[in-house]
Amino acid sequence: MKNIIKTSIYMCIAFATYLFGYAQTLSPQVIASGGASFTNAAGTLQYTMGQAINTTLNNGTNILTQGFQQPEQNISINVQIKFFLEGAYSAGNMNTALRTANLLPLNQPYNVAPWYYNGTENVAAANNIPANAVDWILVELRSNNVGNTPLVSQAGFLLNNGTVANAQGGIGLNFNVAAGNYYLVVRHRNHIAAMSNTNPSLPNATPYDFSTAMTQAFGTNQQANLGSSVFGLLAADVNADGVVTVADYNLYQTQIAAINVYANGDLNLDKHVTVTDFNLYQSRASHIGISQIRY
Ligand SMILES: [Ca+2]
Ligand SMILES: [Ca+2]
C-alpha cells in the first residue's frame, strides 16, 4: 500500500513537471469546478468548492495555505496613526467643510509635484468618502531617520478626530511590507510634513499619536501647539516643499478670493481662500521643516 501511494506521488510530480516545464509564464488562478477570489485593501480571500480544510502557515510576512490554490499576495500590515492639521483644527476636532461640500477629489491628489506619488487610491463616488473625512493625506514608512526616501507610501483620508483611514474608510493604512520597526512620515498638501520621533513596532493596534506632545514629531518645534496639550502639523506650506517662504505666499495670491474650491491656498480647509488663510501664512512664515521631509 505504501509503495502504491509513493508511486502515485511520484507520478503526480512527474506530470506536474511535464506540464510546467513548457510554461512560459505563471499567472495565479483557481482551477476548480467552483471557487472565487476577492481582494480589497485589507487583503485577499480565495476559496475552492469542495476543498478540505487544510493548514495555513503564517510567519508574519507570508502566508502558505495547503490545498489547490495559494494566496496571490503578501500579507499587509495595518498601520494606525493619529495627527491633526493646524489649519483645520478647532477645539478637539478638525472641520469637514471640503467633504460636506463634496469638494474632495475622488482620486488621491498626491500624484503631482512635489510628491509625484502614483498610487491609485480612489473612491467611486463622493458619497463613498467617509462623512467625517477632512482631506486626503499621504503616509510614508521609512527604515531609518536619515535621508528622505520612503520605503513605501500610501494615500488615505484623515478623519476629523485625527484618525488615519484608508480609501475605503477602514481604520489605518495597509502596507505590503514585513512587520518591523519603521519611522512614519505624515504629509498633507498645505501643511509641513512631520516624521515620528521613534520607529514604532508595526503593525500597531494603538495608533502612533503625533498629537500628544510636540516631541512626537522628529526634530525641534516641528508641530503647532493647538492648546490644551494638543499638537498638530504646521499650516501654511502652500506648495508643500517643507518650508514656508514667499513662494507659498505667491501661490496663495494666485488663488485669493476663490470660494467653494479645493485649493492649496485654503490653509484652514474651509473651502474658501481668504484673509484668514493669509493670517495663517503670516504666523508660520519662515518655518523650516526637517531635511528628511523637504523636497
Ligand atoms: Ca513652501
Ligand atoms: Ca480658507
- Does residue 263 lie in a domain region? yes
* Whether 177 and 109 share a structural domain: yes
* Whether 102 and 212 share a structural domain: yes
Least confident of 42-46, 115-119, 181-185, 286-290: 42-46
What does the pLDDT look like over 230-285, one tens digit per residue? 999 999 999 999 999 999 999 999 999 999 999 999 999 999 999 999 999 999 99
Residue 138 or 148, more confident: 138
DSSP string covering 7-22, please?
HHHHHHHHHHHHHHHT
Give residue for cell 500597531.
204
- Of 158, 21, 32, the closest CA to residue 85 belongs to 158
The three cell numbers locating residue 36: 472565487
Ligand 2 centre and the CA of 153: distance in Å?
A: 28
Q: What CATH number did the domain enclosing 119 receive?
A: 2.60.40.4130
* Whether 124 and 202 share a structural domain: yes
pTM value is 0.77
Ligand 1 centre and the CA of 247: distance in Å?
A: 6
Ligand 2 centre and the CA of 156: distance in Å?
A: 22
Number of structural domains found in the chain: 2
- Does residue 71 lie in a domain region? no
Last residue of a domain, one of 11, 35, 65: 65
Residue 75: what pLDDT?
75
Residues 6+ apart with CB under 8 A from 58: 64, 75
Q: Give the domain range for residue 116.
A: 77-293
Mean pLDDT of 33-51: 65
d(CA 82, CA 165): 10
What does the pLDDT look like over 176-233, one tens digit per residue? 999 999 999 999 999 999 999 999 999 999 999 999 999 999 999 999 999 999 999 9
Average pLDDT taken over every residue of the chain? 87
Ligand 2 centre and the CA of 280: distance in Å?
A: 9
3-state class (DSSP) for residue 210: helix
